[in-house]
Structure 1
Amino acid sequence: MNTISFKATVASAEKNEQDQFFMIGLADDEYDFENYILLQQSFSFSEQDKQTGMDGHYFEINGQENAAYKVCTQVILEKDAITFVLDTNITGDLEKVVVDISEVEAEEGFNEYLQAIMGDRLVDNTH
């Protein structure tokens, strides 16, 4: 099983009331990034979302070709890192993505929106 690791320098958080979604992002650079993660979830899901399997969180790493719905089985938030544990039935041999956040100043709402997206799949070890 494989793990991707990178050090983030940027962490963004958004609660979009107009389009009805939460989003968090992590990247190794604000503009010229090589590695990034995008995690997003709608406030609610339509019947079509449910029928197509899009009724959960959206996870993308380093491009839309590396994206899936409901792929994170667990997200472990620690003081200096976030670990995304992935469903290998969806990702093949990619088991984890570990992001070093030791030097990131997360935007306001980051932890709250991460909780809203991941629910009981979030393990918050920051306390």
Structure 2
Amino acid sequence: MTTLNAHFLYAQRDEEINVLMIGFADDEFDTHEYILLQKSLNPSQEDIEAGFGKVHITYNDESQSLYGGISKLHFTPNRTEITLNEDAAEILKSSSVIVINYLLEKEKFIEFHNDLLRMFPVQQGIYSYEL
């Protein structure tokens, strides 16, 4: 299991380029470890066919990133668990389960939950949560 203790979390919807980004980092300014999730909010048919309609995950470096590869994501007020398929774990140079620990106040927790719902539609069966 790969573990990240995140002291900085953020979510940003960039309407100009139509992308939702969710990040978990060990530190806001002196970042050594991070997970960045990005997804186009309205991918074109061309993007979907090329695989760009999936969530893009980066782990610590752009060379350790890919579209897709997340088979499950479980979100709670103080922990997120990401389960990767075998290829994704190899590309990200991590174990197949990444556990992210953090402390979130209730207002931020609900905001993150709503952003994750936008990123991982319920019908895909990837996202689960405990409120």
User: What TM-score, normalized by structure 2, do the two folds share?
Assistant: 0.84
Q: Deviations over 1:102-123 (max 9, x none)?
A: 3x45487322111111222110
Q: CA deviation at 1:35?
A: 0.8
Residue 64 of structure 2 aligns with an amino acid whose one-letter code is: N
Identity %: 22
Q: Deviations over 1:64-115 (max 9, x none)?
A: 111111111111011210001111133237201101013x454873221111
Deviations 1:10-54 (A, max 9, x none): 110111111111111110000111110100111111233223221
Structure 1 portions without partners, runs of 5+: none
Structure 2: tracts of 5 or more residues without a match: none
Aligned partner (choices 114, 117, 130) of residue 125 of structure 1: 130
| Number of aligned positions between the proteins | 123
RCO higher in 1 or 2 (8 Å CA, sep ≥ 6)? 1
Aligned structure 1 segments of 4 or more residues deviating by more than 3 angstroms:
104-108
2:9 pairs with one of 4, 8, 11 = 11
Root-mean-square deviation (CA, aligned residues, Å) is 1.8
The match for 1:101 is 102
